[in-house]
Amino acid sequence: MDQDLHRHVPYDIDVEQALLGVILADNHALERVSAILKPDHFYDPLHARIYEVMLAQAERGGMVLTPLTLHAHMKADPGLIELGGVSYFAQLADAAPAIPNVRDYAQILHDLAVRRALIRIGEDIVNAAYEAPHDNLPKTQIEAAEKALYAISESSRYGEGAIDFGESLRRAVALAEKAAARGGRISGVTTGFDDIDKLLGGLQPSDLLILAGRPGMGKTSLATNISFHAAKAYSDDLAAGVEPRGAPVLFFSLEMAAQQLSGRILAEQSEIEMWKIRNGKFSESEWEKFVLTTQDLSDLPLYIDDTGGISIAQIAARARRLKREKNIGLIVIDYLQLATSAGRAENRVQEITQITTGLKALAKELNLPVLALSQLSRGVDARDDKRPVLSDLRESGSIEQDADVVMFVFREEYYLKSREPEPGTPEHTKWLEKCERVMGRAEVLVEKHRHGATRAIPLQFDDRFTRFSNLADESQLPAH
């Protein structure tokens, strides 16, 4: 305990003075540090104000930073008067190192500021735990602490401000190189569906993707298939020592229990029907296949959170933690109408707006794709043409606006089964022909794509195993 009493807040006044002196000796040094160093990274309040004035003058342009010009802007500052006014600036300039590495100084000050911020968060956690009122629940305190910690850990990455076009180009080239390292394959996270990957380039970092459909279309099945493919591709490529196409996945299942979701994946991979898995009715060969598949999938980097009625703030807090701990690269939410907003909303449309805005912000913050499932309005079922359009999105304004990609799952077979004409009539013969043509077929209608083209993508669907798969022959599906 005595050791704790003699601890000092981490700071280094000498480094602060050296950095300010270097900028006074060479104004161009400010350009090299302004992206990583902010005024509040300085411990000494006077140094923070000096640096703030330097940044402000550099933004205005045309003024050389010297002891005299700085003094003209800060001569009334009490801290500066106390240290001798213009003579203090002169001392800083004179004491500047002969061969400085200004970025190293900036990094030291940045790291010291991070350590001070961690101390503050620690103190806040302790104080909140001791003094919190009854309505400030522990889980709320945990979420606030996680958010504060994540903000610090990502401050260097996301707090860089504007970047010049040359740096933007370098990042674009890095993405192309990443794709080249995959043998010319996609730059984003794979969906496991060739035509979707080709159109979207995979699921792209910071994108909010909406996958919508009426009940019975298979949107949960498709999302589960995508999640499995992404997690499996990541594991396989990592084991093979190649650039992973997939990513660890965090799946928020707000409607279905985790064991039901994993049961679907087991059915799909073992090719044992769901009813058999639920009832435990296996033949000997099926049981062997079931056990082997279970062993094969046990290390899959797929994390399922089946908390019902979860809020967007809780989703964000848990995603940040899994990003830190498991390096997740894809978040799936089934489905967004079952989530709740963090703040108070006057109506359902406003609440959905808060949810989609929060999900888009989370995608950008964690730099990964967020795939959110969405219900469609009943208006689809009332039309002759059941193919959904953007206006069919329930509470659609914000969903369509915030999303980078909007996709619909459509299976004509589902609707045809419920509209069987009288057997023996010419209509029934036509109905049978149409059923045969669309049996086991599905379409993913990409109706919005902020970064490229839109089109209908044909897939195969096997309802025995709730499994979508690539469809080789596109010519058998009607044009859209």
Give 425's DSSP letter.
Answer: S
Q: What is the pLDDT of residues 18-38, one digit of tens each?
A: 899 888 888 888 877 877 788
Q: What is the pLDDT of residues 290-300, one digit of tens each?
A: 777 777 777 88
Split at pLDDT 50, 70, 90, the class of 201 is confident
Stretch (H or E) spanning 47? helix 45-60
Residues whose CB falls within 8 Å of the CB of residue 279, separated by 6 or more in sequence, listed in order: none
The class of domain 1-161 in CATH terms is: mainly alpha
Whole-number Å distance between alpha carbons of 300 and 35: 39
Q: Where are the domains of the chain?
A: 1-161, 189-476
Q: What is the pLDDT of residues 132-164, one digit of tens each?
A: 666 667 777 777 787 777 777 666 543 445 555
pLDDT at 40 over 60: yes
Pick the CATH number of 189-476 from 3.40.50.300, 3.30.1540.10, 3.40.30.10, 3.40.50.2300: 3.40.50.300
Give 346's DSSP letter.
Answer: S
Assess whether the previous peptide bond of 414 is cis (omega < 30° from 0).
no
Stretch (H or E) spanning 462? strand 455-462
Whole-number Å distance between alpha carbons of 447 and 61: 46
Assess whether the previous peptide bond of 335 is cis (omega < 30° from 0).
yes
Phi/psi zone of residue 31: left (φ > 0), alpha (ψ -120 to 50 degrees), beta?
Answer: alpha
Whether the CB-CB separation of 245 and 233 falls below 8 Å is answered with: yes
Query: Is-same-fold flag (1-161; 189-476)?
Result: no
Q: Side chain identity at 351, as an amino acid letter?
A: E
Q: What is the pLDDT of residues 64-111, one digit of tens each?
A: 788 888 888 787 777 777 777 778 888 888 878 876 778 888 889 988
DSSP 393-423: BTTHHHHHHH-SEEEEEE-HHHHHHT----T
Please tell me the predicted confidence (pLDDT) of residue 333. Answer: 92
Name the phi and psi angles at 251, rounded to 5. -110, 115
Name the phi and psi angles at 283, rounded to 5. -80, 170
pLDDT (mean) for 348-363? 83
